[in-house]
Amino acid sequence: MTMITNHMPTAELQALDAAHHMHPFTHGNQLSAKGARIITRAKGVTLTDSEGHEILDGMGGLWCVNIGYGRKELADVAARQMMELPFYNTFFQTSHVPAIALSAKLAELAPEGFNHVFYAGSGSEANDTNLRMVRTYWAQLGEPERNVVISRKNAYHGSSVGSGSLGGMSGIHAQGGLPIPNIYHIDQPHWYAEGGDSDPEAFGLERARQLEAKIEELGAHRVAAFIAEPVQGAGGVIIPPDSYWPEIQRICDKYGILLIADEVICGFGRTGNWFGSQTYDIRPDIMTIAKGLSSGYAPIGGSLVSDRVAKVINACEFNHGYTYSGHPVSCAVALENLRILEEEKIIERVAHDTGPYLQEKWNSLAEHPMVGETRIIGMMGSLALTPHKASRAKFASEPGTAGYICRERCFANNLVMRHVGDRMIISPPLVISKSEIDTLIERAWISLDQAEKQIRDEGLM
Ligand code: PMP
């Protein structure tokens, strides 16, 4: 077989990809017919594809490359760790320095009362851990009937059986027999799409109070936990009204149920603090982490566990774990990533410098005739496409058609911006500079113009 390298013609790589590689969340035959875009290298915030295009990555990979691409320090640490101890497990009363060091560092960075970590290989796995952990917590306390977890429609917590059930995405639930029993979903705090004529703050309260209603309906003695992302990411960067989180916190406190904050996207600087929970003054009992923990350089996820929960779980044998729980290379890479985030004051920049700059520029896109609203916190933003601003109208076409057209225009203009339905979203590397932000916004504006023209020409608005 010939060597397959970056230097092969794109069409040949695409053909091999189509023949053998099944892609996540992808219609395989449609992609095969079109051919995948092949990314060959990346540096900073810029991807290079097999055709030599230089593309500004407005999504930080999959919301994860917080420190940007091409940091040699992480490669060096990984190589060193691979030579010293490429693998050892953390089962059977064993530990190793990378897991110990990363755990201690996470305990230092996390909010007060968070001193424990349970590792996984990904966010999905970590949320599976959380599901079993909260049920085990209550069983250990003599309340095994407290096994219900409440989540939200249009939440994303992963795509394994447990985490896909915790999530509230209808497309995921439609395949493979999800959700599993004893997981319930309340409505999301998505004012733009679902708030009608109501005041956003009143709407936020109303949506939060659905949690209380659900707890009352099921019986508090049955409810183990509520899980939510501080800001829904994959659902479309849905930033809740300010009234939402304080009310959710009040309800969790009132009923004593555990609160799981899924920080897989919001963690490690995305919202301008180490954790989204800090941005929204949330006091969770467990935080799911992944993505920005290693800036995507190595797969790692985990659960940051509060003392309240750890005390109970540590008092039994928790029959749970993954071969790669606390993988030494991933832990070493994550630790180096945290060092860079901290020493280069990247999160401070998101909070006080480049973050506010991006926010101002992003919000200027609201002047575009096809943009119904812009929303942004830290460096995660979204905008709604609409044929009619004042009424927040939807397009006549199948939902997502306009968004897809816009996304394709962005690609053609060398910008990765994703669409969720007819909402466009960004989550660039946190190291993006002001001039790169200017480029992102220029390309977004041009793409919006071109998409608008195409949508009109095709009679979709
Ligand atoms: N939780 C959230 C909030 C996520 O955004 C994601 C991934 N997009 C996950 C969990 C799942 O993480 P992974 O893909 O690493 O399994």
* pLDDT per residue as tens digits for the range 271-311: 999 999 999 999 999 999 999 999 999 999 999 999 999 99
pLDDT digits (tens, 9 = 90+) for 220-265: 999 999 999 999 999 999 999 999 999 999 999 999 999 999 999 9
Mean pLDDT over the full length of the chain: 97
- Packing angle, helices 354-364 and 434-457, rounded to 10: 20
Question: Region 86-108: what's the mean pLDDT?
Answer: 98
Question: Region 87-96: what's the mean pLDDT?
Answer: 97
CA of 224 to the centre of ligand 1 (A): 21
- Packing angle, helices 434-457 and 401-412, rounded to 10: 130
Half-sphere exposure at residue 199, Cβ-oriented, CA atoms within 13 angstroms = 5
Closest among 237, 334, 260 to 290, alpha carbons compared: 334
**Residue located nearest, by CA, to atom 10 of ligand 1:** 157
**Residue located nearest, by CA, to atom 7 of ligand 1:** 158
CA of 388 to the centre of ligand 1 (A): 33
Residues having CB closer than 6 A to ligand 1 are 62, 122-124, 127, 156-158, 229, 233-234, 262, 264-265, 288, 290, 301
Work out whether strand 183-186 and strand 148-152 pair parallel, antiparallel, or are unpaired.
Answer: parallel
Q: What is the pLDDT of residue 297?
A: 98
Predicted confidence (pLDDT) at residue 176 exceeds the cutoff of 70: yes
pLDDT band at 2 (very low <50, low <70, confident <90, very high): confident
CA of 288 to the centre of ligand 1 (A): 9
**Residue located nearest, by CA, to atom 12 of ligand 1:** 123
Q: What is the pLDDT of residue 1?
A: 67
Predicted confidence (pLDDT) at residue 170 exceeds the cutoff of 80: yes
Question: Region 208-214: what's the mean pLDDT?
Answer: 98
Q: Which atom of ligand 1 approaches the CA of 263 most closely?
A: 3
Q: Which atom of ligand 1 approaches the CA of 299 most closely?
A: 15
Q: Which domains does the chain have, with CATH numbers?
A: 38-67+347-457 (3.90.1150.10), 73-343 (3.40.640.10)
pLDDT digits (tens, 9 = 90+) for 322-381: 999 999 999 999 999 999 999 999 999 999 999 999 999 999 999 999 999 999 999 999
For residue 111, cis peptide bond before it (omega within 30 degrees of 0): no
Query: Which amino acid is residue 15, in one-letter code?
Result: A
Contacts of 158 (CB under 8 A, 6+ apart): 122, 123, 124, 125, 126, 127, 128, 164, 166, 167
Predicted confidence (pLDDT) at residue 92 exceeds the cutoff of 70: yes
Closest among 248, 3, 261, 323 to 111, alpha carbons compared: 261
pLDDT digits (tens, 9 = 90+) for 33-76: 999 999 999 999 999 999 999 999 999 999 999 999 999 999 99
Q: Which atom of ligand 1 approaches the CA of 232 most closely?
A: 3
Q: What is the pLDDT of residue 114?
A: 98
Closest among 439, 453, 438, 445 to 424, alpha carbons compared: 445
Q: What is the pLDDT of residue 192?
A: 97
CB 103 within 8 A of CB 335: no
Q: Which atom of ligand 1 approaches the CA of 125 most closely?
A: 16
CB 59 within 8 A of CB 418: yes
Q: Which atom of ligand 1 approaches the CA of 266 most closely?
A: 3
DSSP secondary structure of 154-168: T----SSHHHHHHS-
ipTM, two decimals = 0.99
CA of 368 to the centre of ligand 1 (A): 31
Three-state DSSP class for residue 374: strand
Q: What is the pLDDT of residue 461?
A: 84
